[in-house]
């Protein structure tokens, strides 16, 4: 099946620092997603990207859809303790005629923020 290579696997940063993580694939995709999973909970969608080169922000989060359509990046500025969690990239392929999507997830980046 398709594989997404997400890096780094984990990060320890000081509160207030900026964070960058990325996801690459050997295949081209039309939709890139970024989800966050808080400890003990299910993932929650942060940002959806639909167009090569697209740059989208959600508060202190900014994500980009790579020009080649094979990668995506997520940046978090001025990190705070509640940013702790696991961040997943994902791609979405539509099920034919159904309006629903098959998601393929990266393995996640575990973020720890030191106050």
Which stretches of the chain bind other proteins, using CB under 8 A?
A: 1, 6, 9, 31, 33, 40-45, 48, 50, 88, 92, 95, 98-103, 105-108
Q: Minimum CB separation from other proteins for residue 80, in Å?
A: 23
Smaller CB separation from other proteins, 59 or 115: 59
Smaller CB separation from other proteins, 40 or 115: 40
Between CA 61 and CA 18 the distance in angstroms is: 10
Q: Minimum CB separation from other proteins for residue 10, in Å?
A: 10
Classify burial at 13, counting beta carbons within 10 Å of its beta carbon; exposed 0-12, middle 13-18, buried 19 or more.
middle
Smaller CB separation from other proteins, 77 or 105: 105
Q: If phi over 0 gives left and psi between -120 and 50 gives alpha, with beta otherwise, what is residue 44?
A: beta
């Amino acid at each position: 099946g398709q594989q997404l290579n997400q890096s780094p696997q984990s990060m320890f940063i000081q509160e207030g620092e900026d964070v960058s993580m990325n996801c690459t694939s050997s295949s081209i995709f039309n939709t890139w997603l970024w989800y966050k999973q808080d400890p003990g909970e299910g993932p929650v969608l942060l940002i959806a990207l639909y167009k090569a080169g697209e740059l989208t922000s959600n508060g202190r989060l900014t994500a980009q859809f790579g020009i080649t359509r094979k990668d995506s990046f997520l940046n978090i500025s001025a990190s705070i303790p509640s940013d702790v969690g696991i961040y997943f990239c994902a791609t979405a392929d539509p099920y034919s005629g159904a309006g629903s999507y098959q998601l393929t997830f990266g393995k996640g980046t575990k973020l720890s923020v030191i106050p």
